[in-house]
Amino acid sequence: MAKNKTKLTARNADKHVLYQESVQAPKDDAEFFAHYYKKHTGKPLRVFREDFCGTAVLSCEFARRHRDNHSIGVDLHGPTLDWAREHNVSQLKPAEQKRVSLVQGNVLEVKEPQAELIVGLNFSYSVFKTRSDFGAYMKNAFNALKPGGLFTLDAWGGGQAQFLMKERRKVSSFTYVWHQADFDPITHDILCKIHFEFKDGSKMKNAFIYDWRLWTLPEMRELMDEAGFRDIHVLWEGTDKKTGEGNGEFTRVERGDDEEAWIAYVIGQRPT
């Protein structure tokens, strides 16, 4: 007898599962970072730190990839880390689980163990609203890296980043809604929200709310330089010619394109 599959609705959905399905690609990201680190430093990446790790799905994937891989996930929020343990870490084999450390702490303070690569993804560093806080974060990341290690942040921008808008995208059996609810050109304060909509018409409004500052690439590069990083460079996402959307391929460039919406990585190296 066929099982009656429960339909996903706002009442029964888990916002962390929806988030992971909508905005994360842990296999691709883990592969990309391992590959880029090897290409850039000549060494295999074995100690990976994910700042603002949330559900730590990327940390788990990195530990799974190789028996010498260790991940450190750092996040302030205890309940999200509990969710990470229950839903993601628990999916790993026992030996893999031992190679994932989840630290409940502030990324401004956690320094140990030193990592070879530190990433802060999905623009989470945007919670820092002043140069002094963002600079302090970068300085702490610098100290939390082994000499020769890489620090990577993603960045977004283009004219569209400064419009108030809602963008809907279908993801399996639900719709992901990215909502830019407020933007102040003077401070670059930006209020973003994630909502989810379901086939039965139900909605999960304000599943995630981000009170951020929209940082620019020159500011990020200057702050990295002040924190001591060297060989600071930008990887720019290419464009799919057919769709006009990002194609997920990142290339080191000296200048970007004046696109309506772009994504990039900013990378700095702690000198050896």
Ligand X SMILES: C[S@@+](CC[C@H](N)C(=O)[O-])C[C@H]1O[C@@H](n2cnc3c(N)ncnc32)[C@H](O)[C@@H]1O
Choice between 55 and 269, CB closer to ligand X:
55
Give the residue with the Cβ less far from ligand X, 52 or 183.
52
CB of 169 to ligand X, least distance (A): 15
- Decide: is 54 part of the binding site for ligand X (CB under 6 A): yes
Q: Look at residue 25 and give its three-state secondary structure.
A: coil
Of 182 and 200, which has the nearer Cβ to ligand X?
182
- Indicate whether 265 belongs to the interface with ligand X (CB under 6 A): no
Closest CB to ligand X among 107 and 224? 107
Other Cβ atoms within 10 Å of 191 Cβ, number? 15
Minimum gap (Å) between residue 182 Cβ and ligand X: 17
Structure tokens that stand for 171 in this block: 């993801």
Task: Let me know: does 70 contact 99? Beta carbons within 8 Å.
Answer: yes
C-alpha distances in angstroms, 174 versus 14, 24, 244, 245? Answer: 12, 15, 23, 21
Contacts of 186 (CB under 8 A, 6+ apart): none
The per-residue DSSP string of 51-64 comes to ET-TT-HHHHHHHH
Task: Kindly write out the interface string for residues 116-145 of this chain, putting x where it contacts ligand X by CB under 6 A and - elsewhere.
Answer: -----xx-x--x------------------
Residue pair 250/264 in contact by the 8 Å Cβ criterion: yes
Q: How many CB atoms lie within 10 A of CB 10?
A: 19
Please give the structure tokens belonging to residue 173: 């059996």
- Total interface residues for ligand X by CB under 6 A: 17
C-beta contacts of 7-11 below 8 A and 24+ residues apart: 7/173, 7/198, 7/199, 7/200, 8/173, 8/174, 8/198, 8/199, 9/198, 9/200, 9/202, 10/196, 10/198, 10/202, 10/203, 10/204, 11/202
CB of 21 to ligand X, least distance (A): 12
**Is residue 75 part of the contact set for ligand X (CB under 6 A)?**
yes
7, 27, 77, 168: which one binds ligand X (CB under 6 A) = 77
- Examine residue 84 and tell whether it contacts ligand X (CB under 6 A): no
206 binding ligand X? (CB under 6 A): no
Residue with the closest Cβ to ligand X?
54
Q: Considering beta carbons, is residue 108 or 263 the nearer one to ligand X?
A: 108
Cβ closest to ligand X, residue 9 vs residue 24: 24
Closest CB to ligand X among 80 and 202? 80
Which positions lie near ligand X, rule CB under 6 A?
A: 23-24, 52-54, 74-77, 80, 106-108, 121-122, 124, 127
